[in-house]
Amino acid sequence: MMLEWSATELSAAIHARKVAPSEVMAAHLAQVATVNGAVNALVSLHDPDALMAEARALDNVAPTGWLHGIPFAVKDLVATAGLRTTWGSPLFADHVPLKDDLVAARLRGAGAIFTAKTNVPEWGQGSHSFNPVFGVTRNPYDLTRTAGGSSGGAAAALATRMVWVADGSDMMGSLRNPAAFCNVYGFRPTWGLVPSDAEGDTYLSTLSTEGPMARTVEDLAHLLTVLAGENPAVPFPRALPDLTTLDRDIKGLRIGWLADWGGAYQMEPGILPLCEAALRQMEALGAIVEPIPLPFPAEKLWQSWTTLRAMLNAGGKRALAEDPAKRALTKPETLWEIEQGLSLSAQAVYDASTIRSRWHAHAARLFQTYDALILPSAQVWPFPAGWRWPETINGHPMDTYHRWMEVVVPASLIGLPALSVPIGFSAQGLPMGMQIIGRSGDDAGVLSIGQAWHRATGWPQKRPPLAEAPVSR
């Protein structure tokens, strides 16, 4: 059943001429028509007749790229030539770019057919994919709940078998949180492995990165190969590691369990026990799991993170706050970020960078002992879709709109590779995941642990109710 194939299997079938791109497109469009109305994961859908014509034109063309003839929905934070791109903002509700961003250009170059965009929060801020242009993306496992964000549309589209593989981006867990909420994989690569476009600041902006999402780790590796590669116009290039030998024995690997960071991170009931059950499964695969005491003050990490994040938001989005017309159409959370950034002193930014540097050095020492570190991917279960964000966890108030996502900061702050893997469900059937975090540059090592986990568990095969009887093609 084509919709259940991995992207790797689908690509191999297209390259072997066992299935034609037009057949794949027909299956994709049928599934979108069946399930997208319920989850609202895909937006700005292209004309179906035009898409079928584009696919038929590839039926007898020799494949040149891994994504040849595969329907692809690009995250709505990535500009796509000729396909509406809004960033979830009413300011760009009718915006149709004239050229592709780098990520879109690389996807097109690998043969993808762009069919739609995946829904996001306005400006990608907040891990809940709702915006005034398209509304809210709902969780395929419980339509009353959020799919997470900012790659929530991508995660929900993967879970419902509307797409085979997806791009995402991650500053504050935007690949990892929605992957956990939707029972798929989301990989934040080492910072710099997937370069940015040469626009605006490219020296200080080292918190966010693009990355792949998929239902198998093998697909993550293939898509990462498409997305990665030097962009000479931006600094700090990184070479792509060998991702062809992910099937490795994890016996003897030392895994550090960070749990709730010494009690600093509030966790809703059931999340830590589910992670601990997953770690026992890793031990059964031969890994050595050891609890790690508080490795670094959480408040220092938060100070550094919020300072640097606010600085970058103020620098890149200041015009949204200063123009009254734009300000009126900008979400309060974005305006808050800008105002926080504009109030910063140079000393505050320097202090934040110093904390970041100290954490980098301490983490490097941890990786002299451990092959990987583990944290939950989220601190809460998928929450009601009508909320803006969780205002409390276990009765503890969250003092900002993103404090409930704090568990993703340790990896993001210093650009470490982090893979969110599915680990099962709550008693209410809500998905959750945990982060496998590696040393800087060890993307292959992190993915190999994920591959062993996937082969042992196969969690994404547990389809949500919407995809229990997918369209047969």
Q: Which residues are catalytically annotated? A: 75, 150, 174
Q: Which two tokens stand for residue 78?
A: 């990535």
Q: Is 165 helix (H, G, I), strand (E, B) or coil?
A: strand
Task: Report strand pairing: 418-425 vs 431-437.
Answer: antiparallel
First to last CA, the chain: 6
Per DSSP, the three-state class of 445 is helix
Question: Closest Cα partner for 460 from 18, 163, 194?
Answer: 163
Give the span between the Cα atoms of 466 and 3, in whole angstroms: 13
Strand partners, 432: 424
Report the sign of the C-alpha dihedral through residues 398, 401, 403, 405, in that order: positive
The residue with tokens 């994961």 is 41
Tell me the β-bridge partners of 169: 210
Q: Is 186 helix (H, G, I), strand (E, B) or coil?
A: strand
**Beta strand pairing call for 254-257 and 288-291:** parallel
Handedness of CA 308, 313, 319, 321 (dihedral sign): negative
Q: For residue 115, give the nearest of 149, 67, 147 by alpha carbon.
A: 67
* Residue 78 · residue 88 · CB < 8 Å: no
Q: Packing angle between helix 102-109 and helix 217-227, nearest 10 degrees?
A: 110
> Please, how many CA atoms are within 13 Å of residue 297, restricted to the half-sphere of its CB?
7
d(CA 320, CA 313): 10
List Cβ neighbours of 35 (8 Å cut-off, separation of 6 or more).
140, 160, 161, 162, 466, 467
* DSSP letters spanning 328-386: HTS-HHHHHHHHHHHT--HHHHHHHHHHHHHHHHHHHHHTTT-SEEEEES-SSPPPBTT
